[in-house]
Amino acid sequence: VSVLPIESAVNVVDCFFYDGIKAILQLGLAVLDYNLEKLLACKDDAEAVTVLSRFFESVTNKDSPLPPAVQQASGMNENRSPHPRVDITDLIRESSEKYG
């Protein structure tokens, strides 16, 4: 939860309080599934952590009253395309449908 933007982490905590640890495990499986191809292409653990970090930076919450976080230029690598935005609500729904 600490790797997600706060406006998305709140949704995950809500799911935890409603469904328990099952919701967190389902979400973890969905994150791994979403990044499967990129993770399989990784040559070491550090590269896998980078893939997951970029994914978590791309998670948004379209229903959040907070303004969207400003992407810092230092987090972007010119050689790689930016990760597509993923809405936390869609990710939670997909995790529940696939692994629930």
| pLDDT tens figures, 60-78 | 888 877 665 543 333 445 4
Closest residue by Cα to residue 8 from 83, 71, 89: 89
pLDDT digits (tens, 9 = 90+) for 39-53: 999 999 999 999 999
What does pTM read for this prediction? Answer: 0.78
Mean pLDDT for 10-14 is 92
Contacts of 50 (CB under 8 A, 6+ apart): none
Written in H, E and C, the secondary structure of 32-97 is HHHCHHHHHCCCCHHHHHHHHHHHHHCEECCCCCCCCCCCCHHHCCCCCCCCCCEEHHHHHHHHHH
Mean of all residue pLDDT scores within the chain: 85
Helices (H) and strands (E) counted in the chain, each on its own, are 5, 2
